């Protein structure tokens, strides 16, 4: 039997260590502000007439996973940029992810959403970013954004850790909202894709 490539093994170990460190740190250092921020995003999503999601690159792909899970809950969800996405309006929520909080298309979408009267939820590493300033609720994660190549916040390339956290936070938001709903897994299942 062949042994795994050492570089692959080392990469997997790095990711495990970083996620373990981040999760342990978040649990050990969790404070009311962080918990309140997460709850505020969950509240926005629960109260939204419709949810729109927008992110660029890998962050956008990660956020699309959250969009799918929110749809499984029965929320009306749209991915910005898809041809069937309607206009955003008051009562809607724009859920965004941008490590730097400065990605032009994401900030522009948030500005347009705010002008339309929608509320904005942001996942970012930068509490003082333009995106965070536009947001009604902000979850700040302690990860490197894609422009940080110092290796201080994360040894992973570009925004790897941030993108992984977008997936994990999205699943946590889904789980929190699912438990609030009281719906069973069987009740959610009929919303899964059946045209595959």
Q: Which residues are catalytic?
A: 163
Give the largest Cα separation in the chain, rounded: 60
Q: Which of 178, 163, 183 is nearest to 70 (CA)?
A: 178
What are residue 120's DSSP bridge partners?
94
């Amino acid at each position: 039997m062949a042994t795994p490539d050492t570089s692959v093994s080392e990469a997997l170990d790095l990711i495990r260590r970083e996620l373990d460190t981040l999760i342990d740190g978040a649990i050990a250092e969790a404070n009311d502000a962080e918990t309140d921020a997460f709850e505020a995003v969950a509240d926005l999503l629960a109260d939204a007439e419709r949810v729109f999601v927008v992110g660029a690159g890998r962050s956008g792909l990660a956020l699309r996973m959250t969009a799918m899970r929110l749809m499984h809950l029965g929320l009306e969800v749209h991915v910005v940029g898809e041809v069937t996405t309607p206009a955003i309006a008051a009562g809607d929520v724009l859920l965004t992810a941008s490590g730097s909080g400065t990605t032009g298309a994401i900030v522009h979408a948030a500005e347009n959403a705010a002008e339309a009267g929608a509320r904005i939820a942001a996942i970012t590493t930068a509490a003082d970013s333009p995106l965070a300033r536009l947001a009604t609720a902000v979850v700040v994660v302690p990860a490197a954004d894609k422009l940080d190549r110092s290796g201080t916040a994360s040894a992973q390339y570009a925004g790897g850790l941030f993108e992984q956290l977008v997936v994990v936070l999205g699943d946590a938001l889904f789980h929190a909202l699912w438990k609030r709903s009281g719906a069973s897994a069987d009740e959610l299942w009929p919303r899964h894709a059946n045209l595959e």
